Amino acid sequence: MTVALAEVFEGRLAALTRADQLIGSQGAQCARLVRMLEQELAAVARGPSRYSLEGPDIVLAPDCAYALSLLFHELATNAAHHGSLSNKEGHVEIFWHVEGDDLVLNWTEHGGPPVRRPTSPGFGSLLVAHAAVKLKGSASLLYLPSGLRCDLRVSLVAHWPRRRGAMFIETRPTPVRAM
């Protein structure tokens, strides 16, 4: 394993560890969206003045928290290496709201170096798309002249099936029927 690949793997593992610590710190086995975003951005930004967060403080179930932690880690790492957090002037704005059972989030970068659409998708952009699909949603990455923008819509009530052997075991609670 190369040093660069090891660093990428360690970063993703650290993101999952941070999510796990957030989930474990809440008595109800959940994580708060604002705190998750703050942790991921603090890991790469040079202070809180480099980003702004605006939206309700949403409580995330563990399945959603783990998937979003990887997704936010990829966006934050990309911003730090290639985007608006890679220089001294750039800024990331994150706005979100809830529509029904969906989280609608916009990640917008400004003031970074010129953005170019990659010729082929990298693992990070595939991970962002895959995490969104797993949460019964979608993510679009827009390579704008002003910076990267990610428009995200995911279900806050989606559950990932758990694997045991070759079978999937659904983790949703079984509805109780009145008799």
Q: Which residue is associated with the tokens 């559950």?
A: 159
Q: Which of 172, 174, 169, 175 is nearest to 159 (CA)?
A: 172
Residue 104 lies in a domain: yes
Q: Is residue 178 part of a domain?
A: no
The span from the CA of 151 to the CA of 139, in Å, is: 6
Tell me whether residue 128 is in a domain. Answer: yes
Q: Is 177 part of any domain?
A: no
Is residue 179 one of the residues assigned to a domain?
A: no
Domain carrying residue 82: 3-169
Residue 26 lies in a domain: yes
Name the domain count of the chain: 1
Residue 119 belongs to some domain of the structure: yes
pLDDT exceeds 50 at position 176: no
176 domain residue, yes or no: no
Helix (H, G, I), strand (E, B) or coil at 113: coil
Full-model pTM: 0.76
Compute the average pLDDT of residues 155-170. 52
* pLDDT 10s digits, 50-109: 999 999 988 888 778 878 888 898 999 899 989 999 999 999 999 999 999 899 999 999
| Of 97 and 128, the one with more pLDDT | 97
CATH number for 106: 3.30.565.10
